[in-house]
Structure 1
Amino acid sequence: MTDAPITDPKVLRALSHPFRWKLINLLTEQGPSTATQCSAKLGESVASCSYHLNMLAKYGFVAEVEGPGRQKPWRIVKRHQMISTEGLDEEGALAAEAAELAYLEQEFERIRDYQKLHEHLSEEWRDHYGISSTTTFLTREELREIQNEMRALLDRFDERVENPELRPEGARAVRFFVSTAVSQD
């Protein structure tokens, strides 16, 4: 699934706070949650969670779930965000850079947290945890092909995020973080 890049500086600035990325990730993995539930899981105040959820809702990333009761859970609306400075004016490019840096900050924090908990995983899961990198030489077309193949492979399991009933017994949230960097040759 390829979404169009976000080009509105206001929307990009809404993503420039690392805690908002944590909320997006939590709602993606845990499903609909109230601000109180987000607070308990993320260790942030209910007021702060509510504020940041409302900011994400303002720009269409999350929405309240309709239903009875005073406390409404929030659900993820837009799971895939594409951020690029390509073609943006200076204001937009600065906002895109801030959003990218906020995303990376929370993602690296998350990787560090997972690394600390690695030893507490059961052995069968511990064997599959890891960080690796490689360098190879590709043409632009080959790189695009690899990226498309990786996206297609992971997209096969997207329905399990949206519909927990489709998750096989024993399934856990597994995070893939892929970064592509190209040399300046």
Structure 2
Amino acid sequence: MADARISDPKALRALSHPFRWKLINLLTEQGPSTATQCSVKLGESVATCSYHLNMLAKYGFVAEVEGPGRQKPWRIVTRHQMISTEGLDDEGALAAEAAEMAYLDQEFERIREYARQHEHLSEEWRDHWGISSATTFLTREELREVQHGIRALLDRYDERVENPELRPEGARAVRFFVSTTVSPE
């Protein structure tokens, strides 16, 4: 699945708020949720959640689910996105950098929080939690192959995110955060 590259500076600025990444992650893991449900899960006011959900909707990151009732749940529109400064003017590059930093701040906060709660996992799950890293030497083509291989492996389970009925009994949300850095020459 190709990542949707975000190049609109205004959309990138919308992603520069760390709380919006929390909302995106919550909707990805929990599925469609109302502002009230988001408020309970994230410990923020309904008004704050509603405001940030509307900002994400303005730029097409989330959308309201159509249906009966006054309170409409929000859902993720595109789960795979790419933020890059490549090809952007100065304004766009600054917005992309701010969005990347907000994403990384939120992601590292999540990792630290899960690390603090590690001992509360059941033993069967605790054995599979962890952080690892590796350094190797690859050509650009080999790096691309590794990246595509990791994505293809994870994509095999993609339908389970949007279709809870496809999740086997005992399945839990598992977060993968993969970062690729290349040493300067």
Both structures adopt the same fold (TM-score exceeding 0.5): yes
Size of the aligned set, in residue pairs, is 185
Shift in alpha-carbon separation, 1:69–1:6, aligned structure 2, 3 A: same
Counterpart of 1:50 in structure 2 is: 50
Give 1:141's aligned residue: 141
Map of 1:71 onto structure 2? 71
Are the equivalent residues in 1 in contact too, given 2:35–2:49 (CA < 8 A)?
yes
- Paired letter, 2:179: S
Output the TM-score relative to the length of structure 2: 0.99
Aligned residue number for residue 92 of structure 1:
92
Identity across matched positions, percent: 87
Which stretches in structure 2 are left out of the alignment for 5+ residues?
none
Q: Which residue of 2 aligns with 1:158?
A: 158
Give 5+ residue unaligned stretches, structure 1. Answer: none
Q: Which amino acid aligns with 2:25?
A: N
Deviation for aligned residue 1:22: 0.5
On the 8 A contact 2:57/2:63 being kept in 1, the answer is yes
**Alpha-carbon separation, structure 1, partners of 2:75 and 2:5:** 22
Q: What is aligned with 1:178?
A: 178
How far does residue 4 in structure 1 lie from its aligned partner after superposition? Answer: 3.8
Task: Measure how far apart 1:67 and its partner are.
Answer: 1.3
- Output the CA distance in 1 between the equivalents of 2:111 and 2:58: 29
CA distance in 1, matches of 2:4, 2:77: 15
Q: Shift of the alpha carbon at 1:80? A: 1.2
The farther-off stretch of 60-69 and 88-97 is 60-69
TM superposition shift of 1:2: 1.5
Q: Give me the CA root mean square deviation.
A: 0.7
3-state SS, counterpart of residue 82 of structure 1: strand
Contact 2:56 2:62 in 1 (8 A): yes
- Partners in 1 of 2:171 and 2:69 — Cα distance? 31
Q: Which amino acid aligns with 1:24?
A: I
* Alignment partner of 1:83 is 2:86: no
1:46-96: per-residue Cα shift (whole Å, max 9, x none)? 100000000000111111111111111111111111000011110000000
* Residue 105 (structure 1) aligned with residue 105 (structure 2): yes
The separation in 2 between residues aligned to 1:102 and 1:146, in whole angstroms, is: 26
In 1, Cα distance between the equivalents of 2:65 and 2:179?
33
Question: Is this contact kept in 1: 2:4–2:80, CA < 8 A?
Answer: no
- Bigger drift between 22-31 and 62-71 goes to 62-71
Q: Is the 8 A contact 2:23 2:53 kept in 1?
A: yes
Does 140-149 or 59-68 show the bigger shift? 59-68
Ranges of 4+ aligned residues in structure 1 off by more than 2 Å: none
